[in-house]
Amino acid sequence: MAKVKVSFEWLSGCSGCELSIVDLHERLLAVLEQIDIVRLPILMDVKDYPKAKLGIVTGALRTHHDVECAKKMRASCDAILAYGTCGVYGGPQGSGYAHAQSDLAETAFVKNPTTSTHFVPDQGVPKLLEEGVLPLDAAITVDLYLPGCPPHAYYVFEALRSVLDGKPPEFGEHNVCFHCDRAMKHTEVAALRRVHEGTIEKETCFLAQGILCMGSATLDRCRGACPTRGMPCSGCGGPSEAIVLEPNRDIRTEIATRMSMMTKIPKAKITSEIEKQAKTYYAYAMASPVFREKPTFLLRRWIAQQGAAR
């Protein structure tokens, strides 16, 4: 049987998504028996865009060059998979949304005392997008979305299997809490704290201990990697389906409602803390239009207020 041609492109990302394909371990050998990789910038020096059945695109749109490359992938591939939180929502690069592009360039190239070039380079470098950062589907039509920073091998395999077998993927719609055994329970905790402050009960939900955890508002494309290993979730898988699909639901209200019901911490205090740390708690998806229709359209203001308060 002829192998399925698969083409890769990486835009503005960190290469973690490409490395996550190696996490397939032995299953990678089975996959490679069925696919023919015609383009993979991390391993192959292929400058053109060969025809392929599946195009896997990692990274966000950060520059005009990214947009050009995304369009070439769309034109050369039958189907496009936005792979990783960057491609789906903007990912960590999305924090660029919080600032004007000119401010970011000035800070990196002129104001930084250790790396200053005293000018912002504009020759031989890709021009940043005026919009800041955009997810892949802002420039091209996307057929499949696989968020995760990077996605867990379980979902990577399922995505590839679905394409190879021509069947819809069986991903499920769970949030991170689905994979976490910590008990959600009522406590007398009356103050917020950070994860490094005090001791942590291994069997109790972080929220019940006064520690912010984004698990209930985050899609499970990591299979609960952090809370099952002793750390709260910071939302790198992107928002849960409920938050994406329901206009009146948002990360900060979702977490604050749940946490205030388990503890003695007032909901308004929790909401306010998440707004203060918006650059952390909205980091992975703030570039996505998903949040433009919610009260989070105020994200830039919250972040600017924190900057002014410092």
Binding site for ligand SF4 (CB under 6 A): 13-14, 16-17, 58-59, 84-86, 91-92, 149-150, 176-177, 180, 182, 184, 205-207, 213, 215-216, 218, 222, 224-227, 232-237
C-alpha 220, offset from chain centre: 12
Instruction: Between 238 and 275, name the residue whose CB sits nearer to ligand SF4.
Output: 238
Instruction: Between 22 and 304, name the residue whose CB sits nearer to ligand SF4.
Output: 22
Instruction: Between 7 and 87, name the residue whose CB sits nearer to ligand SF4.
Output: 87
- Minimum CB–partner distance for residue 279 and ligand SF4 (Å): 15
- 174 phi-psi bin (left φ>0, alpha ψ -120 to 50, beta other): beta
- Minimum CB–partner distance for residue 4 and ligand SF4 (Å): 23
- How many C-beta neighbours within 10 Å does residue 8 have? 25
Query: In the bound complex, which residue of the shown chain has the CB atom lying closest to ligand SF4?
Result: 215
Strand, coil or helix: 6: strand
Residues 6+ apart with CB under 8 A from 133: 12, 60, 61, 62, 90, 93, 94, 95, 96, 97, 287
Instruction: Between 34 and 257, name the residue whose CB sits nearer to ligand SF4.
Output: 257
Q: Are 110 and 119 in contact (CB under 8 A)?
A: yes
- Minimum CB–partner distance for residue 293 and ligand SF4 (Å): 23
Which CA distances in Å does 45 have to 74, 94, 141, 310?
20, 28, 26, 46
Spatial separation of the C-alpha atoms in residues 57 and 111, rounded to whole Å: 34
- Minimum CB–partner distance for residue 35 and ligand SF4 (Å): 20
- Minimum CB–partner distance for residue 91 and ligand SF4 (Å): 4
Scanning 2-140, the segments in alpha helix (DSSP H) are 16-22, 26-32, 64-76, 85-89, 101-106
Residues 6+ apart with CB under 8 A from 104: 96, 128
Instruction: Between 198 and 307, name the residue whose CB sits nearer to ligand SF4.
Output: 198
Instruction: Between 6 and 215, name the residue whose CB sits nearer to ligand SF4.
Output: 215
- Minimum CB–partner distance for residue 119 and ligand SF4 (Å): 29
